[in-house]
Amino acid sequence: MPTDLRVELKARIDKAQGEISELQEKRRKYDEEIAQIESKLKIWRDALELEMEHYGEAALPLFSREAQPYRFAGMKLIEAVGLLRKENPSITKKMARDILERNSFDFRGKRPGTAVHMVWVALDRRTKKAST
């Protein structure tokens, strides 16, 4: 005797929804772990900058031949581009992208050119809004 297809489909839907819930919970936990580690990185980066200032070391040069993998560690893209624009107001988007790529900035799977452009526009809006 064949079973009702509706019962079978409901069971499959329930199973799939359960799997989705489990994966969403795992993602939530991973997001929390990432946020904690990013917070630590920001603290360490700030401490490094303070120590460098304390000992009179010059700020990292905008254009260096050697990559400084810790320079942008834990920063969001908007913070990193904002820092580069603050250091050199005449910097272009292409130059900012090159610096970030050379220093192994984590674009988190986004296309670097597009990501830098979007952040650039957002920073321009902030600047415009602040001056108004």
Q: What is the pLDDT of residues 21-41, one digit of tens each?
A: 999 999 999 999 988 988 888
* pLDDT tens profile 79-129: 999 989 988 889 999 999 998 988 888 888 889 999 999 999 999 998 888
For residue 9, pLDDT over 50 is answered with yes
For residue 63, pLDDT over 50 is answered with no
pTM: 0.53
The dihedral region occupied by 67, where left means phi > 0, alpha psi between -120 and 50, and beta the remainder, is beta
